[in-house]
Amino acid sequence: MSIIENLTIQDLVRNLLTKHSALRDDDYRLIANVWIREMRGKEEVRKLNALEFLTLFTEKKLAHPESVRRSRQLLQERHEELRGERYQKRETVLEKVEREGVYQFRQTSLHYETNVEKRNK
């Protein structure tokens, strides 16, 4: 439930991603900025203590972090101009992997295994 009237989470995320490219690769900063907008700006946030903030969050008066993340993910999937640098770097690596005929790509370990290496195991 957003405190901002007539603005969906997805609309708010789209506005923030459009205006602030640094938020495209940082979900924590994106979520914080969504919450700041929902609470009507930094000045209002400064007036809150931690307990008041947690009360707003637990009473579902602030956007759920996962909703913000999913909105960002969906928007970036559909709109190239909203994608961040990390997305571009990841796509470049994947294109290189495909171009070089790599058999398997494990992103967690960043280990590339070619068909020849796979057969020799």
pLDDT one-digit tens code per residue, 18-36: 999 999 999 999 999 999 9
Tally the C-alpha atoms within 13 A of residue 24's C-alpha that lie toward its C-beta: 21
pLDDT value at residue 41:
87
Of 3, 24, 1, give the one whose Cα is nearest residue 13. Answer: 24
Same domain? 94 vs 49: no
Same domain? 69 vs 110: no
Same domain? 78 vs 90: no
Same domain? 5 vs 62: yes
Q: Which H helix or E strand runs over 32? A: helix 27-38
Same domain? 69 vs 50: yes
Same domain? 59 vs 93: no
Same domain? 56 vs 113: no
- Which of residues 56 and 1 earns the better pLDDT score? 56
Same domain? 68 vs 97: no
Of 113, 19, 119, 32, give the one whose Cα is nearest residue 69. Answer: 32
**pLDDT band for position 86 (cuts 50, 70, 90):** confident
Same domain? 26 vs 52: yes
Q: Which domain range does residue 62 map to? A: 1-83
Q: Is the pLDDT of residue 4 over 90?
A: no
Same domain? 61 vs 45: yes
H helices of 50-114, in order, are: 50-58, 65-78, 85-99
Same domain? 32 vs 63: yes
Domain count, the chain: 2
**Per-position b or e across 25-60, b if 16+ CB within 10 A of its CB:** beeeebbebbbebbbeeeeeeeeeeeeeeeebeeee
Of 39-43, 69-73, 86-90, the poorest mean pLDDT is in 86-90
Same domain? 16 vs 70: yes
